[in-house]
Amino acid sequence: MNKAKKNSNYDAWGIERLKLPNADIEKIYRNIVGWTILAPSSHNSQPWKFKIHIGAKSDSISILIDKSRILRESDKYSRQTFISLGCALANLTNAADYYGLHYTVKIPVNSSKGDESVIISISKKDAKINNRFRKILDSMKTRTMNRGNYLDKAIPKIVLRKFYNIAENGGLRLTAIMDQRTKNLISELQFQADLYAIADTKFRKELARFILSDKSDEFIGMPAKTIKLSEEMGIYISKKLSEKLFDADISSGFAASNRDAMRNSPGIFVISSPKDSVLSWIKAGQIFENIALIAEQNGLAISVYAAIIESMRDKIFQKNFFNITSDTQKVPLVLFRAGYSKQSYPHSPRIPSDLLTQYSKD
């Protein structure tokens, strides 16, 4: 884990929009990366780093995978890593749109090897504020992962239509599960996925490293309050997770909490693709983050579930999922719930963008 001096691990959330035309182009790029790192990631591992290059004719911002922050036990195929990268890409392009930059996005073939995964080439540098993206940037700062209970209140159709449009524009499918019977079945499947994951000693030990004290000065990980734990319980759970034999009551309690929260939510959503590929994972991350930002603008909470997705490698589990959703033509990549909540949850820490970024010029 990386450590920062006191309080600096939350400084990233204090980012502000730049005022133009006073800011030079390098400062704008630095600011864009600052917005990018506010994206969500699995276990708040933040598995990204950046390169900013300023050239004679065009500039570029590259997002790379930092292999040292891939979750080896809970993300054995790097799916969650690339979904997290897609979330970061969504923030980056939204920030670039706010500054009126013209750009193209390229995902190289060798991205699965963890080399330069996404390159954003910028052809027009005369930045001009586009206020249509102002609220999107604002929602990046206020967005959190809300793992609490949601109210029995329907999500407005106009908001659901925005969700669907984001998925359609991103080239993947969004399925909304609203009927109680199907929500119950999916929730039970999630319960089984959680039990399956937490039975793995290596998975538990990895998870334990990412549960933080709320007073921690770590850059990476999940403070206890963000995962519905008190300070004392977070320390206790982290210690128990590290033990060879895990308490079955804690295991079932953890899984039951997720199950109950899911089935009592107004909507469960699945982002799916015909292919289980790096490109699809990145697209799914983009779509999820853009939906999360729209949800934030409309007062909706969101919580994502990875265990059920990672369990799809098991053929029996996969068959049960397809039987429930009646969609065998698409591979589920992101599963989340959304709804209104009276509960609020704090941000997780962030690695400062300057520590993640290399700069070069022609």
Where do we find the tokens 């999820």?
288
Tell me the HSE value of 145 on the side-chain side, using a 13 A CA sphere: 23
Where do we find the tokens 């923030």?
91
Report the chain's terminal Cα–Cα distance, integer Å.
35
Structural domains present in the chain: 8-144+351-361 (3.40.109), 157-199+246-339 (3.40.109.10)
Tell me the HSE value of 354 on the side-chain side, using a 13 A CA sphere: 8
pLDDT on residue 109: 60
Q: Helix (H, G, I), strand (E, B), or coil: what is residue 224?
A: helix
DSSP-derived secondary structure letter, 242: T
pLDDT on residue 5: 45
CA dihedral 128, 130, 136, 137 (to 10 degrees): 20
Q: 357-361 and 48-54 as β-strands: parallel, antiparallel, unpaired?
A: parallel
**Sign of CA pseudo-dihedral 288, 292, 294, 295:** positive
pLDDT on residue 148: 95
Q: Please, which residues have CB within 8 angstroms of residue 169's CB and are 6 or more apart in sequence?
A: none
Q: 222-223 and 211-212 as β-strands: parallel, antiparallel, unpaired?
A: parallel
Helical residues (DSSP H) of the chain, grouped into ranges: 25-36, 79-98, 134-142, 157-169, 180-198, 201-210, 231-241, 248-263, 278-297, 307-310, 315-325
C-beta neighbour count of 288 within 10 angstroms: 30
> pLDDT 10s per residue in the chain (362 long)?
554 444 489 999 999 999 888 788 999 999 999 999 999 999 999 999 999 999 988 899 999 999 999 999 999 999 999 999 999 999 999 999 999 999 999 987 655 555 557 999 998 767 789 999 999 999 999 999 999 999 999 999 999 999 999 999 999 999 999 999 999 999 999 999 999 999 899 999 999 999 999 999 999 999 999 999 999 999 999 998 888 777 788 888 889 999 999 999 999 999 999 999 999 999 999 999 999 999 999 999 999 999 999 988 777 777 888 888 877 668 999 999 999 999 999 999 999 999 999 999 98
